[in-house]
Amino acid sequence: MEKSIKVVSPYDLKEIKELPLISSEDLEPILKTAHELFSDRSNWLPPYRRIEVLEKAALLMSERLEMITQLTISEGGKPYKDCKAEVLRAIKGVKLAAAHISQLKGEQVPMALTQATRNRLSFTTKEPIGVVAAVSAFNHPLNLAIHQIATAVAAGCPVIFKPAMTTPLSSLAFAEILKEAGLPEGWLQVVLCDREVAEQMVTDARINFFTFIGSANVGWYLKSKLSPGTRCALEHGGAAPVIVESDADFEEMIPDLVKGSFYHAGQVCVSVQRIYVHEGILESFVEAFAAATAQLKVGNPLEHTTDVGPLITPKEVDRIETWVNEALSEGAELILGGERISQTLFQPTILLNPSERSKVSQQEIFGPVVCIYTYKNRDEAIQRANALEVHFQAAVFTKNVDVALDTVKKLNATAVMVNDHTAFRADWMPFGGRDASGIGMGGISHTIEEMTRTKLTVFKSKYI
């Protein structure tokens, strides 16, 4: 019996579409197609063709902006204004991928530095790495697809893409757009499958590069199973810390922190989670932060005024409710929220000084919950911020440049925002976790470079 999945709206749980899953037997022709495309160099897409396809795709996406926005809302539950921003960002990402193709270049390697290397001319070139297997997450269903598919196309790699089973429609729509834009058959294959088939796919010896966005447990497990020679990039979550010094500018800081905390109901890998506030301003900070958070409108993501939509599944609402109740029983003070609104919605929640042993302090919440902690000494706060195994993006709010630079230096993070929230991102900047939060560096241009490999050519001639 053929397996299938039902894609449902995270807000009202209405069925949107039922889609078939591929089986283990279905996977072989998919892998064979990608491998044979890459193995025969006559099939390779020249740079100008890749540019044409991506530029045409960006144009088609712009023409269908509202339709794609509605699609991403329906399957992902992100509010309208945030979904529209994601689609616009995705279009920019496709353009960035097309533009970076012209930057795929090598360099001359100096020779004649020794007697033995005389009479030689040496240079490097960039080639596609090979077949890319991409496994993606649900929280940005279109933009994550851009970061894993458009980059592979730009690098010249055939790509097999597995979207999150809760949000496959945006990537399927993008695949159709790429086909319409002229991407030849086989260069992108979107597969819907269970975990067993996904593992079979990414661990196959014909996969040259594995890109994964999702949970650490799954990512590190799959990395351990990769075939020898398969390179990878893993992007997992964090528990983003923020240091708030006593001289922080409230007028600028509070709106940024509210946005960074509750955007997409906190379902962001760099969402603000742990805020360490100097004891001298704790009371005023809590009051201002809670007042601004209370103004957020929670509800139907299709309404243009909604700020916080549903969690991806009711199971996640159950988990958040359990974690919050555990934190309260372990000594946290409830400042705001703390309760489910419905089967799919949870109140934006603020906890004060939860135990360092509570799940909300130890693990990525991935929901609309923020923890505030007080501190006397900044170095002690930084030590607490660095205490977890996950390290992704962090932030510090201060008007003292020396304090800012010192904090940036001491925070264990791949990126530190000064006077901005932890979820800030531009698609051309390096982006990724370190330590348990991932391996490799994302961002459109950085991912394209990771999907290439270097070839050295050396000419020997007595006339050189």
- Give which of 399, 410, 299, 397 is closest to 346, Cα–Cα: 299
**Options 75, 86, 157, 235, the catalytic residue:** 235
Q: How many whole angstroms separate alpha carbon 442 and alpha carbon 449?
A: 10
Strand partners, 459: 121
Nearest 5°: the CA angle 387, 389, 393 is 85
> 303 an active-site residue?
no
> 269 an active-site residue?
yes
Asked if residues 317 and 344 have their Cβ atoms less than 8 Å apart, the reply is yes
Asked if residues 107 and 52 have their Cβ atoms less than 8 Å apart, the reply is no
Q: How many whole angstroms separate alpha carbon 194 and alpha carbon 198?
A: 6
Q: How many whole angstroms separate alpha carbon 77 and alpha carbon 72?
A: 7
Q: How many whole angstroms separate alpha carbon 422 and alpha carbon 237?
A: 12
- Give which of 233, 204, 223 is closest to 33, Cα–Cα: 204
**Options 232, 269, 316, 364, the catalytic residue:** 269
Q: How many whole angstroms separate alpha carbon 307 and alpha carbon 263?
A: 7
Residue 389, class by beta-carbon neighbours within 10 Å (0-12 exposed, 13-18 middle, 19+ buried)? exposed
State in Å, rounded, how far the first CA of the chain is from the last one.
68
**Alpha-carbon distances of 260 from 110, 240, 265, 368, rounded to whole Å:** 48, 10, 10, 10
* Three-state SS sequence of 96-108: HHHHHHHHCCCCE
**Alpha-carbon distances of 41 from 29, 37, 156, 157, 205, rounded to whole Å:** 19, 8, 11, 11, 19
Q: Name the residues annotated as catalytic.
A: 235, 269
